[in-house]
Amino acid sequence: MGFKTFSMEIGGKTLSVDIDRVGKQANGCAFMRYGDTTVLCTATASKAPREGIDFFPLSVEYEEKFYAVGKMPGGFNKREGKPSENAILTSRVIDRPMRPLFPKDYRNDVTLNCMVMSVDGECRPELTAMLGASLSTTISDIPFDGPCAMTQLGIVDGEFKINPSQAEWDKGDLKLTVASVGQKVIMIEAGANMISDEKMIEAIYICHEQNLKIIEFFKKIQAEVGKEKHSYVSCAIPEELFAKMREIVPPEEMEKATFNDDKQSRDEAVDLCKKKIAEALADNEEWLPLVDEAVYQYQKKTVRKMILKDHKRPDGREINQIRPLAAEIDLIPRVHGSAMFTRGQTQICDIVTLAPLSEKQKVDGMDPNVTEKRYIHQYNFPAYSVGETRVSRGPGRREIGHGALAERALIPVLPSEEEFPYSIRAVSETFESNGSTSQASVCASCMALMAAGVPIKEQVAGISCGLVTGETDDDFLVLTDIQGLEDFFGDMDFKVAGTREGITAIQMDIKIHGLTRPIVEQAIKQCHEARNYIMDEVMTPAIAAPRAEVGEYAPKIILTKIDPDRIGDVVGQRGKTINEIIARCNVKIDIEDDGSVSVCGENPADMDKALGYIKMIVSDFEEGAIYDGVVVSIKEFGAFIEFAPSKEGLVHISKISDHRINHVEDVLTLGDRVKVRCLGKDRMGRISFSIRDAQGKKEEKAKR
């Protein structure tokens, strides 16, 4: 049975695609191979629209198979379980550029499945899946205004590199993914080490130029093997219904209801308009079920017209004006660090927890370079934050995505493990939401880290810009600090986080078929101005620099270094020695393979005691040196003195006192704390000690 193979060079490596080799019953299937990385990508659609919904039901599934990297899955069943965080984030990156390219009135279920089957380390499976999802949909019979293409860019040895290897991606100062459609950019996702606006724009358009080549390649494949797009039942609102609604609720009445700076008041006013329309159409069985969606679109058209034509925002702000700001720290007692950031009706409280490095999060994934995470940022979005009621089912894809975005924004300013030997967890709790809580999380987290005593390099803030476009590419307005209404009814959510000088993270979602370069440049410029304003206006007054020390209730950590060859002495047989130190001193001890040792505890005296034990264990006794010890065993011939767990020495009975004694018990008892002098090695090569020579005069030791 025949199949066709197509190939092109991308970033010095060959991308090949097999069509009609596998997955023939899917609407579209592309068997992708980039280097030796192989991903099976399929696109399927239901034959009929799903009833009772007012959205396009698209699902993107990125499946990581552990056989792809020669690993056995963890767990009892030895079977892949729920998607990893990386899989969820990859699914979101695939979804964002593709969703706008499906018809807005399409209600058939569509599933894009990308199954990773092999990974070679040089070609990232995430990128291969992104390209395969686009191509499989493009050649299918599913209505889709593609193809779109994606390119990743890193920095290797100070130079941009298209589609870097996994190791280069993990270690580089830039992790940029750009998707394009036609001649425009449709999606941007980035993590960066404080890169300037100009360098970021340059990087974005290097990716865009590469995307244009891939799009041409995909178009040739589509021309040769693509299926004719199938027809579908349109769910568009009839124009006659819009005309009737304008009679019932005139445009000026809808404008008055919509343009209100208080979200709850605005929702109540719009609900009254909706009720008025529903009552007027109560006898129209065809139109009545469409009222909710029709009012939404009526409100959307009203908002877009007023913003674009009259430069009037729903809450009366200027185009580049930020809503009222507030910031405070130490809101929550006893936690290691806390801060609250408020921007209009968006409010985030972030709480930081510090722990030893042994508390790092283990990562069981397909990237061999990432097996643990020292810094974790998590984001929660409860229903009450938007005035709704629903049962919490744990974090969804949106929550995981927002947490990862804030985490990516702050990683570049975190201190190294040598500078600050802690694992760090930041949790952003959404108290109120009306636009860009993810970027409010960046601001709150930055302040909470400083309040916790984490010596971050610079402040980081985040902001989101929106967009309203007209009939031509030149007819647009970029809005600073969009609220929920402007996000819902606008064309873009362009989030940028960074320091005063450079960008640390970008995430761009749009609802239209791409952005021109002037829009991208304007959005980055306005975001830069806005984040500097936020830092100057409220963040710096709240906390200008990280606290010099961690808080009262945070664990304290002491670092030391030992000879790696002596690690076994500290650990002891089956961990006996180190566990004894931990039990005696009420501390946690972590030892790395390079000999780095961290002692973590709440009581400085206990930590010093544990550190003293460790130093004693790894040190060699010096002749003439004085040591402190405890009598742990008494024999006829002398007493054994313990200097640290598993480190003992013998004091012969003749060396206990400056006068003759018949029994050791006449002078010493178990538990006595004594000073001894090291006498060096005896004739049998054993280290011997003397209490008599350490005292300088006759005296018996007091009981401990």
Residue 398: left (phi > 0), alpha (psi -120 to 50), or beta?
Answer: alpha
Across residues 69-84, what is the average pLDDT? 87
CB neighbours of 266 closer than 8 A, spacing ≥ 6? Answer: 257, 258, 259, 260, 314, 485
| pLDDT at residue 704 is higher than 70 | no
Dihedral angle computed from the Cα positions of residues 429, 433, 439 and 441, in that order, rounded to the nearest 10 degrees: -10
CA within 13 Å, CB half, 274:
18
Predicted confidence at residue 698, as pLDDT, reads: 39
The two three-digit tokens of residue 446, written as one number: 């930055």
- Residue 96's pLDDT is 96
What single letter denotes the amino acid at residue 104? K
Print burial letters for 76-97: b (CB count within 10 Å at least 16), e (below 16).
eeeebeebbbbbbbbbbbbbbb
Show the tokens assigned to 638: 């002398």
Q: For residue 213, give the amino acid letter.
A: K
The answer to whether the beta carbons of residues 6 and 34 sit under 8 Å apart is no
As a whole number, mean pLDDT of residues 313-335 equals 94
Sheet holding 588-591, edge to edge: 556-561, 596-601, 588-591
Do residues 486 and 510 lie in contact, with contact meaning Cβ atoms separated by under 8 Å? no
Place of tokens 């938007």: 386
DSSP conformational letter for 295: H
Structural domains in the chain, sorted by start: 4-144+208-222 (3.30.230.70), 239-310 (1.10.10), 336-505+518-542 (3.30.230.70), 556-618 (3.30.1370.10), 626-695 (2.40.50.140)
pLDDT exceeds cutoff 80 at 697 = no
pLDDT of residue 235: 87
Judged against a pLDDT cut of 60, whether residue 549 lies above it is answered with: yes
Which one is predicted more confidently, 700 or 303?
A: 303
- Give 285's pLDDT tier (boundaries 50, 70, 90): confident
pLDDT given for residue 393 in this prediction? 82
d(CA 606, CA 415): 26
Residue 1, pLDDT score = 62
Indicate if the pLDDT at residue 602 is higher than 80.
yes
Contact (Cβ atoms closer than 8 angstroms) between residue 366 and residue 85 = no
pLDDT in the model for residue 696: 55
- Tell me how many helices (H) and strands (E) the chain has: 17, 29
Q: What is the pTM of this model?
A: 0.88
The rounded distance, in Å, linking the Cα atoms of 572 and 184 is: 63
**SS3 category, 634:** strand
Can you point out the beta strands (E) in 65-223? 108-118, 148-156, 159-162, 174-181, 184-195
Mean pLDDT, range 351-364, rounded to an integer: 91
Nearest to 459 by CA among 442, 471, 474, 476: 442
Provide the token pair at 262. Answer: 């208080």
Among 106-110, 215-219, 331-335, 548-552, the range scoring the smallest mean pLDDT is 548-552
CA–chain centroid gap for 93, Å, is 14
Q: Are 374 and 424 in contact (CB under 8 A)?
A: yes
Residue 147 preceded by cis peptide, ω within 30: yes
Distance CA 335, CA 321 (A): 34
Count of alpha carbons within 13 angstroms of residue 470, beta-carbon side? 12
For all residues of the chain together, what is the average pLDDT? 92
- β-pair partners for 39: 32, 116
Residue 394 neighbours by CB under 8 Å, 6+ apart:
none
pLDDT digits (tens, 9 = 90+) for 103-137: 999 999 999 999 999 999 899 999 999 999 999 99
| Cβ contact 175:507 at 8 Å | no
pLDDT-based confidence at residue 192 (cuts at 50, 70, 90): very high
What mean pLDDT comes out for the span 494-501? 96
Task: Quickly count: other Cβ atoms within 10 Å of residue 386's Cβ.
Answer: 16
Q: Are 341 and 334 in contact (CB under 8 A)?
A: no
Q: What's residue 2's pLDDT?
A: 79
Among candidates 56, 125, 117, 68, which has minimal Cα distance to 91? 125
Closest-CA residue to 322 (of 519, 517, 535, 515) = 535
Does the pLDDT of residue 308 top 70, yes or no?
A: yes
Report the pLDDT averaged over residues 185-207.
97
Strands 673-681 and 687-690: antiparallel
pLDDT digits (tens, 9 = 90+) for 8-57: 999 999 999 999 999 999 999 999 999 999 999 999 999 999 988 889 99
Predicted confidence at residue 460, as pLDDT, reads 98
Q: Report the distance separating Cα 644 and Cα 589, nearest Å.
A: 15
What pairs with residue 680 in β-bridges? 688
**Residue 255 banded pLDDT, cuts 50, 70, 90:** confident
> What is the share, in percent, of the chain residues with pLDDT greater than 90?
72
Cα dihedral 475→480→484→487 (10° resolution) = 30
CB 502 within 8 A of CB 195: yes
User: pLDDT by residue (tens digit) across 619-670?
Assistant: 989 888 999 999 999 999 999 999 999 899 999 998 998 888 889 998 899 9
How many Cβ atoms sit within 10 Å of the Cβ of residue 2? 5
